[in-house]
Amino acid sequence: MTADDYRRLVGALAAAANRRDAELANAERSYQDGAAVAAAELALANAEAGEADRRAGAAATAVVKVDREATRLWDELRRVLGWRGRRLGDLPPPTPVDLLPTGSAPAMAVDLLDGAARRIDQARRGAPRPPLPRWILPLLPPLGALGATMTGLVAGGLVTIAHFDTGLQWPLRLLGWLAFLLAPFTSVPVAAICVDRQFNSRLDTGAAGLTVLGGLCAGCALSLLFAR
């Protein structure tokens, strides 16, 4: 082997050693980068798991609070309703999760319970309520007149039937006159229910008087009509 061949062989061995060192360095960097990425992903997964545990704990606490508040409100509702509350029975079971609306959360349940609590507080005797809207007042006399007219027509029908020989002349006549006497007041309960459900208010004395006034006017008109 000549000197030139020896130098070429040494150069080839040195080049191979350099390539090996470069590949080992690249492999080491790849390993370090992969380890860093894996460590970051593991830390992120641990953080997400911790956040999920925290949310699960908060949700479980909220569920316990909601159940406790629902039980309290149910018992309060039964006390407010008095003897009518006995028909409600025990607290209904919760709605299955798959039947809940999309996006529902314990916070929504808490808001609903707060609204129910306000309604129950307002349902207590003597509890303050918002005043009746003024634009409702002109509608009360026509409502009273409508109820009185319908009741008066029923009363007239009973009195008319009493003229026939049915064996129930006096009971029918008595029922007819009683219905005619109560006709001006028949719309007051209807107006009170509508005001309570639609406006969460009470029918005060003035509003009830307007309703009865409309019923009295209609009753007078029916009396004049039947007198003819």
Tokens of residue 87, six digits: 């028909």
Share of the chain above pLDDT 70, in %: 71
**Cβ atoms of residues 184 and 215 within 8 Å:** yes
Give the Cα separation of 148 and 213 in Å (integer). 10
Give the Cα separation of 4 and 152 in Å (integer). 133
Give the residue extent of every domain in the chain: 3-123, 134-227
**Cβ atoms of residues 55 and 47 within 8 Å:** no
pLDDT for position 119? 62
Give the gyration radius of the chain's Cα atoms. Answer: 42
Residues 68-83 have pLDDT tens digits of 777 777 777 666 666 5
Average pLDDT of 10-18? Answer: 76
Helix (H, G, I), strand (E, B) or coil at 42: helix
Residues 105-158 have pLDDT tens digits of 555 566 666 666 666 665 555 556 677 888 888 888 999 999 888 988 888 888
Q: What is the rounded end-to-end Cα distance, in angstroms, of the chain?
A: 149
DSSP code, position 137: G
User: Which residues lie below 8 Å from residue 71, measured CB to CB, with a gap of 6+?
Assistant: 91
Does 125 or 93 have the greater pLDDT score? 93
pLDDT for position 114? 66
Give the Cα separation of 194 and 124 in Å (integer). 18
Tokens of residue 3, six digits: 């000197």
Tokens of residue 144, six digits: 């009273």
Average pLDDT of 212-228? Answer: 80
Phi-psi region of 103 (alpha: psi -120 to 50; beta: other; left: phi over 0): left
